[in-house]
Homo-oligomer: A and B are copies of this chain.
């Protein structure tokens, strides 16, 4: 019996393996370049989809809702208004909706074979072909690269990326004459406008340019137009731009010697780990053109092997991006990021489906696709729908991760430490182009998808017209980009690099070490020596899962050494309501701004205190959890309670609190423990474990080579964290004598019972 069963298993195993190989091969099959559609949908893919319809739940559902949407739009009729508004205004919203609809209507025509969709696409494209040649540049003048349909070339490019797909879907259905009109009145002039006529937009390394490159590339592939494709891939040969030019956001337009075009936009901003230097919010935005164009190139120009480009960085980047989201799938708002954006966005549906289909069918991606509950209406979406139908999905387990920044992965990075429900995000990256914030060695903390210690994010209400036309607001520069808006050290009330983009862009922090092998002590350490010339900062975060504590706790050790005595401010932007402080503080009877410039003008000083002992404790309640910061204080420290919202004439800022530790020193260590503990339930009204478990925190050693922190808990157990500040080698052996006790360990850190 046993033998027979084994044989059966082997046979089944063989069949399964064979099938898998077959599938993989199919996915990577080079689709014939004969006939349309061939860009995203392919002739073969459409046939496969049609043969499966009705038996692939998530695909069928997406198709049904798409059909309902598009049918409703068709019933309303075509509206191609004369461009007039900023984002948030009617003409902007209408044209945006138009391109999204066109793309979908094209897909419906292919899948459902109902001519009404082709007619709709044609008629709307013809309306654009009639309008476009009459258009001057957009009447809104704010952009460094004004579009024609929209106020900036960026949105015009969005339009073309989507409509190229629609055009591909009805290409063969159109008459040659119709194609001639569309290409010569609309698509070619359109592509020329966003490229040749706007080199300051097209010839850059920036998410804007990526959209521009891809727009031109997509329509080039549909039209089989080699010249445009070459521009898309490698940029304009000449652009007459001067090095040092800047855009609206203060970003460089031209950097001497920098390559341009789509491939350069893959090379430059992506690190080998797939981290995109602008941060996850913009990575999400750029993901769509990167991946949709990669898919198109894969189909039409398979010889380019685009998915293998730079060791498969485009597919890796999807994994990196998902890892840069919290437990609810919301992206960490590093740099300019609007909170709430998540992997439920349409761009991530594209990214996940394409990464699954072309990246080896990672079953963890299926679980994300399942949450998204919709798929692309194309070959990739079909593959995902089939995977889900067949129950192949596995949970996407987000673990601790360290992502390098920079084209070669040597320009700092972002570390995410995860333990139970806690997620700590540590930023020691490069500047992040024009969307970067000046916040070297800053961090944020999450618990179960809720912000505990926040990064403010951007100051903008994307697409809400009432708020400055939906564009960046001036407080983005005066507040969000300033260092004081972040959880990192500020010297003498001046932002890192004095907030100068030219300077910040030249530098990045350096990883000291990262270690997540030991799930009990996960740790990341990085240094910054350029933010303030003459000052070195070394910050280490450890998330420690210690059975003597209810939950993992965070150790935050920031060593600052300088040539001079300075004022150091270290803010913690906690969210929630203060429960208790163990130090004396006085609330102010009238509120004044904390300072005059560099973001300080936006903080109200609510209260100020002085340490009552060598450990200052500060507790708060947020969303049912208690938190405590225990920090080692100097007697002369100021403990400032502040809140955003000063000098905010249009109420663009949220009113949110901060605890700022202010110290005057030359060389010092800020050492703190952040604990999440207990909970409060307003229904049962039970308050559980409402106090910190730390009874004493001490720096027992600190010099340029070593720092040692001693942690005593309420049960009198004493632990020590030992750090080597210079030697990051995992193999180095260290011996350190502290208060007559000799500590020996190997590697850059050690956490142990003091009595061990």
Task: Say whether B682 contacts A339, CB under 8 Å.
Answer: yes
Closest to A686 in B: B463
Within 8 A of B (CB), among A631-672: 641, 643, 645, 647-651, 654-655, 657
Q: Are B464 and A579 in contact (CB under 8 A)?
A: yes
Whether, in the assembled complex, A134 has its beta carbon less than 8 Å from a beta carbon of chain B, the answer is no
**Chain B residues, Cβ within 8 Å of A607:** 651
Q: Please determine whether B464 and A342 come into contact, CB atoms closer than 8 angstroms.
A: no
Query: Are B462 and A685 in contact, CB atoms less than 8 angstroms apart?
Result: yes
B687–A470 CB distance below 8 A = yes
* A606 CB contacts on chain B under 8 angstroms: 645
Judge whether B647 and A589 touch: CB under 8 Å: yes
Q: Does A223 contact B (CB under 8 A)?
A: no
Q: Quick check: is A467 within 8 A (CB to CB) of the other chain? A: yes
The one of B577, B592, B690 that contacts A651, using a Cβ cutoff of 8 Å: B577
* A464-B680 CB under 8 A given contacts A587-B648, A587-B649, A589-B647: yes
CB distance from A480 to the nearest CB of B (A): 15
Contact partner of A341 (CB less than 8 A), chosen from B88, B462, B683, is B683
Q: Let me know if A655 and B643 touch, CB within 8 A.
A: yes
Q: Answer whether A619 and B682 are a contact pair too, CB < 8 Å, given A587-B648, A648-B587, A655-B655.
A: no
The contact size tier of chain A is: 35 or more
CA distance A621 to B647 in the complex (A): 21
Inter-subunit contact B682/A466 (CB<8 Å): no
A691 to B90, CA, bound (A): 12
Q: How far is the CB of A644 from chain B (nearest CB, A)?
A: 10
Q: Is the CB of A621 within 8 A of B687?
A: no
Interface string of A333-345 (1 = CB under 8 A from B): 0000011111011
**Are B580 and A687 in contact, with the CB atoms below 8 A?**
no
Is A196 close to B, CB under 8 A?
no
In chain A, positions 321-360 with a C-beta closer than 8 Å to chain B are 338-342, 344-346
Check A466–B580 contact: CB distance below 8 A: yes
With A467-B579, A649-B587 as contacts: A88 and B344 at CB distance below 8 Å: no
**A684 on interface, CB distance cutoff 8 Å:** yes
Q: Is A465 an interface residue (CB 8 A)?
A: yes
A137 at the A/B interface (Cβ < 8 Å)? no
The closest CB in chain B to the CB of A470 belongs to B687
A241 within 8 A of B: no
Decide if A578 is an interface residue (CB 8 Å cutoff). yes
Residues on B with C-beta less than 8 A from A590 are: 590-592
* Bound CA–CA A379/B550 (angstroms): 39
Given contacts A649-B587, A651-B578, contact A466 B690 (CB under 8 A): yes
List the B side residues contacting A167 at CB < 8 Å.
none
Complexed CA–CA distance, A654 and B655 (Å): 11
Whether A338 pairs with B682 at a CB distance below 8 angstroms is yes
CA distance A591 to B606 in the complex (A): 10
Q: Which residues of B contact A650 (CB under 8 A)?
A: 578
CB neighbours (8 Å) of A580 from chain B are: 466-467
- A220 to B121 alpha-carbon distance, docked (Å): 82
The chain B residue sitting closest to A464, CB to CB, is B687
Q: Which listed residue, B346, B591, B643, B682, touches A684 by the CB 8 Å rule? A: B346
Nearest B-chain residue to A607, judged by Cβ: B651
Min Cβ gap A350→B in Å is 14
CB A65 to nearest CB in B, in angstroms, measures: 14
With A591-B590, A683-B344 given, is the CB distance from A466 to B647 under 8 Å? no
Q: A341-B682, A345-B684, A591-B591 are in contact. Are A577 and B654 (CB under 8 A)?
A: yes
CA distance A470 to B589 in the complex (A): 26
User: Is there contact, CB below 8 Å, between A466 and B579?
Assistant: yes
In the docked arrangement, what's the CA distance between A342 and B681, Å?
Answer: 11
Q: Complex Cα distance A344/B685, Å? A: 12
- CB neighbours (8 Å) of A346 from chain B are 684
Instruction: Map CB proximity to B onto A718-755 as digits: 1 under 8 Å, 0 otherwise.
Output: 00000000000000000000000000000000000000
A262 at the interface (CB under 8 A from B): no
Q: Is the CB of A690 within 8 A of B464?
A: yes
Contact of A340 among B88, B578, B683, B686 (CB under 8 A): B683
Judge if A604 is at the interface, Cβ distance under 8 Å: yes
Q: A577-B651, A591-B604, A649-B587 are in contact. Are A466 and B684 (CB under 8 A)?
A: no
- Give the CA-CA distance A470 to B686 in the complex, in Å: 11
How many angstroms between the C-alpha atoms of A51 and B573 in the bound complex? 58
Question: With A464-B621, A578-B651, A654-B577 given, is the CB distance from A88 to B683 under 8 Å?
Answer: no
Closest residue of chain B to A592 (Cβ to Cβ) is B590
- Report whether B578 and A465 are in contact in the complex, using a CB–CB cutoff of 8 Å: no
Alpha-carbon gap, A690 to B647, bound state (A): 26
The residue that A463 contacts in the complex, of B345, B464, B466, B685, with Cβ under 8 A, is: B685
Q: Are B687 and A465 in contact (CB under 8 A)?
A: yes
Cα-based distance from A658 to B162 in the complex (angstroms)? 44
How many angstroms from the CA of A522 to the CA of B338 in the assembled complex? 40
Q: How far is the CB of A581 from chain B (nearest CB, A)?
A: 9
Q: How far is the CA of A645 from the CA of B98 in the complex (A)?
A: 47
CA distance A466 to B619 in the complex (A): 9
Q: What are 11 A-B residue pairs whose CB atoms fall within 8 Å in the complex? A: A338-B682, A341-B682, A463-B686, A464-B579, A465-B687, A577-B651, A577-B654, A590-B591, A590-B592, A606-B645, A655-B655
- What 3 pairs between A and B have smallest CB-CB spacing? A340-B682, A591-B591, A578-B651
State the A residues within 8 Å of B (CB). Answer: 88, 93, 338-342, 344-346, 461-467, 470, 577-580, 586-587, 589-593, 604, 606-607, 619, 621, 641, 643, 645, 647-651, 654-655, 657, 680, 682-687, 690-691
Extra contacts besides A338-B685, A461-B621, A464-B687 (14): CB < 8 Å: A93-B686, A341-B683, A344-B683, A345-B684, A346-B684, A461-B687, A464-B579, A464-B680, A465-B687, A466-B690, A590-B591, A591-B604, A641-B651, A643-B655
